[in-house]
Amino acid sequence: MREYLLTLCITAAVTYLLTGPVRKFAIVAGAMPEIRARDVHREPTPRLGGIAMFFGLCAGLLVADHLSSLNWVFEKSNEPRALLSGAALIWLIGVLDDKFEIDALIKLGGQMIAAGVMVMQGLTILWLPIPGVGNVALTQWQGTLLTVALVVITINAVNFVDGLDGLAAGMVCIATVAFFLYAYRVWVSYGIEAAAPATLFASILMGMCLGFLPHNMHPARIFMGDSGSMLIGLVLAAGAISITGQVDPDVMNLFSGSERATVHQMVPVYIPLLMPLTIIAIPAADLVLAIVRRTWRGQSPFAADRGHLHHRLLEIGHSHSRAVLIMYFWSALIAFGALAYSVNSASMWIVLGVVFLSAVGLVLLLLPRFTPRVPVWAQRFVPPRYRRRRAAAAAEAELAMEAAAQDAPDEPETDERAPVTAGVSGVNGATAIGTRGRFPDRS
């Protein structure tokens, strides 16, 4: 655990320290596009934050390679090199897009090539656990197509959700914490060495997000851009592929009896194996809704709009910070709920807790729709925005005073200024004020 924490801290430190210089470089390079119709920020903000995140990834892999307890991962597995190759390619495509805004189809092709590069180096799905059937081995072409599809979907899901300050980095970080705990448990508890690369990827990804978040929280000083969102999406997909498609569930002694058991008996068994996919549940749902919405309107699925989940939260009435926190809440609920269920699927308290928190999440989503009526005796204990009665009374009183002031007749001028103005006269352009009574009459 100490080695993973050291790798996480080094990655976060390098990402954090490089983000400031990268921001200045982005300003000099002109990577500050004008505000578009779908943007929610008000001032042009530099991009290219993915540069700092990529060098943080490189630093994390370099440190892990020199640690005696993690060095064997690089010797026995080619997955770290596959990750670095695919990450470098997708990062270059993202940098070009942040500066020149390349076509969406070109980016899609680059994503598929990056996924193919990782597949060629051994990072691919070998088998799938299917409820009611068991462990199904995949052919080379099936594994390749499924791996490429998962990488592309994850990259675009994270890219689509990157619409508010700190949203993508925070959601990915929260989900990756749950994924790290799951992968570490599979490796330590069951002694499966195949889960070690996924655990390493998760620790590095957490460091990348934590190091960049201080610069990206609202109001953001720099955006990660496509160079960052596609990069963390690829690292996220690599970890899910590594542990879902290469760790044999039979080795974990999860199956009891026949593999063709009923679906009711097998679903709790496969929840831990599908847990890596739950970390992209919210971004994936946003991706599916965006494709359906744009296709229904006759637009391209890659056409940008303001219909994402975070945009709708702002339209409902949530503030920028509250919308981000709500998205954080749902990501944590799904990821840690799946993690808790994988540890003890027989506990009804876990299910009840998830249901209760889901209800709380729905209340938070609809909070601006409510008009809470706080009792008079409790108004001093709630924020001012919930003191609707006092606020309404004050507003009505202010409106009444303004109306009375407008209806009142103008007051006539008094004679108080007469003594001052009476002695004002102009002589050859000069002015004498208040001379009467101070000097004798010379006439």
pLDDT 10s digits, 189-217: 777 787 889 899 999 999 999 999 999 88
Q: Which of 42, 52, 16, 45 is nearest to 31 (CA)?
A: 45
Residue 423 has pLDDT above 60, yes or no: no
Higher pLDDT, 400 or 70: 70
Residue 361: the pLDDT is: 75
Residue 96 has pLDDT above 90, yes or no: yes
Structural domain contains residue 425:
no
Is 344 known to sit in a ligand binding site? no
Structural domain contains residue 93:
yes
Residue 177 has pLDDT above 60, yes or no: yes
Structural domain contains residue 374:
no
Place 388 in a pLDDT band, splitting at 50, 70 and 90: low
What residues contact 117, with CB distance under 8 A and at least 6 apart? 82, 85, 86, 89
HSE-CB for 212 with a 13 A CA cutoff: 37
Phi, psi of 325, rounded to the nearest 5 degrees: -65, -35
Structural domain contains residue 162:
yes
Q: Give me the mean pLDDT over the 95-102 stretch.
A: 89
- The alpha-helical segments, DSSP class H, found in 66-103 are 71-76, 79-100
Tell me if residue 322 falls in helix, strand or coil.
helix
Structural domain contains residue 148:
yes
Structural domain contains residue 426:
no
Structural domain including 112 reads 2-260
Structural domain contains residue 399:
no
Place 132 in a pLDDT band, splitting at 50, 70 and 90: low
Q: Give me the mean pLDDT over the 335-354 stretch.
A: 76
Q: Give me the mean pLDDT over the 18-24 stretch.
A: 94
Residue 322: the pLDDT is: 79
Place 87 in a pLDDT band, splitting at 50, 70 and 90: very high
- Lowest mean pLDDT of 162-176, 344-358, 408-422, name the range: 408-422
Residue 355: the pLDDT is: 83
Share of the chain above pLDDT 70, in %: 65
What residues contact 241, with CB distance under 8 A and at least 6 apart? 123, 124, 125, 147, 150, 151
Is 226 known to sit in a ligand binding site? yes
Could you give the number of structural domains in the chain?
1
Structural domain contains residue 304:
no
Task: Give the max Cα distance, the chain.
Answer: 129
Higher pLDDT, 262 or 409: 409
Question: Quick check: pTM over 0.85?
Answer: no
Higher pLDDT, 377 or 292: 292
Pick the most confident of 186-190, 237-241, 352-356. Answer: 237-241
